[in-house]
Amino acid sequence: MSLRTHCGRCGSIDIKKYGTRNGFQRWKCKDCGRLSNEKTGTIFSSRKLDDEKFKRLLHHIIRDSTLKTISEILNISSRTAYVWRMKVYSCLSKYFDHIELSEKVWIDEAMIPVNRKDIVLQGNKLLRGTSRNQIIVCCGIDDQGYCFAQVGGRGHLSSIGSLRAYGRHIKAGSILIHDGIFSHDLLVKELNLDSEIYKSTTQESKKKLEPVNSLIAQIKRNLILHIGGNRKYLQLYLDWICFKRQFKKMKMIDKTGFLESICFQSGVLFKVKDRY
């Protein structure tokens, strides 16, 4: 963890060292008069797990261990395991705010079923085809391996919805490789993209779209691990799935250190009573 440069309470930069407590340097704010340490204002501020157990917890989160497994191995409650998993996922929400794909960019949409309680019926029958019972996930990946996945609403993807989901993550002037659905037209026009269209009906076209198809397959496989997850938090799961690609070729000790650093620097505050 890095040294604090501002007050964890009011944000003032006028702070001074004020001894240590429980191994953490403390600072006192000259403006508000309150004390803070490195954990203040982060998801770690209320952490009760010791360092060793917490690193083991991160290890199991990275491995996508079930809540039951985490609970049994670490001797903590399933709720504690769940809350910490969601805390970590929440910290990644800002990580993708500035992700921008460039050069060659592949995009496509995946359809994820809504939770059973949210299913919309027409009379006593399910809606047919692409409907409000399916959540659109807009997926993108470039030739450098950077990727993102963004919830794009329900049912059919509109042109505005496509621009909203993809627009801020694709650099203007890039080459867009896609299946040519009408809702991509506005995106291509607004970002001045070169467009390569491959209808995914032939084997050759599927090869051309393989990078994004592979990403979608990974998303669907990982969502099975969180099959009981509330779709209300689908974006958090998607961010986690994409973030895990950063771990390639890293040792586990480096993975846990990297993840802890991202969480600390995210500035995300997490209140269980507000969210779960």
The pLDDT tens digits for 235-255 are: 989 999 999 988 888 999 999
Assigned token pair, 61: 């989160």
E-only strand ranges, 143-225: 147-154, 175-178, 194-197
The pLDDT tens digits for 76-110 are: 999 889 889 988 998 888 888 888 999 999 999 99
Residue among 230, 228, 225, 241 nearest 110 (CA): 241
> Residue 126: pLDDT above 80?
no
What pLDDT does 2 receive? 47
Tell me how far apart the alpha carbons of residues 264 and 162 are, in angstroms, rounded to a whole number.
Answer: 32
The pLDDT tens digits for 214-237 are: 999 999 888 876 655 667 888 989
Q: What is the DSSP string of the chain?
A: -PPP-S-TTT--S-EEEEEEETTEEEEEETTT--EEETTTTSTTTT--S-HHHHHHHHHHHHTT--HHHHHHHHT--HHHHHHHHHHHHHHTTTTTTT--B-SEEEEEEEEEEPPGGG--EETTEEPPSS-TTEEEEEEEEETTS-EEEEEEEESSPPHHHHHHHHGGGB-TTPEEEE---GGGHHHHHHTT-EEEE--TTSHHHHHHTHHHHHHHHHHHHHHHHTTT--GGGHHHHHHHHHHGGGGTT--HHHHHHHHHHHHHHT-----HHHH-
Instruction: With beta carbons less than 8 A apart as the criterion, state whether 175 and 141 touch.
Output: no
What pLDDT does 156 receive? 85
What pLDDT does 276 receive? 45
What pLDDT does 262 receive? 85
The pLDDT tens digits for 40-75 are: 767 777 777 888 888 999 999 999 998 899 999 999
The pLDDT tens digits for 138-165 are: 999 999 999 999 999 888 899 999 999 9
Tell me how far apart the alpha carbons of residues 122 and 116 are, in angstroms, rounded to a whole number.
Answer: 15
Domains annotated on the chain, with CATH: 1-40 (no CATH), 43-91+250-275 (no CATH), 104-225 (3.30.420)
Within 10 Å of residue 260's Cβ, how many Cβ atoms?
A: 17
What pLDDT does 264 receive? 79
Tell me how far apart the alpha carbons of residues 6 and 41 are, in angstroms, rounded to a whole number.
Answer: 11
The pLDDT tens digits for 166-218 are: 999 999 999 999 999 999 999 999 999 999 999 877 788 888 999 999 999 99
Q: What is the pTM of this model?
A: 0.79
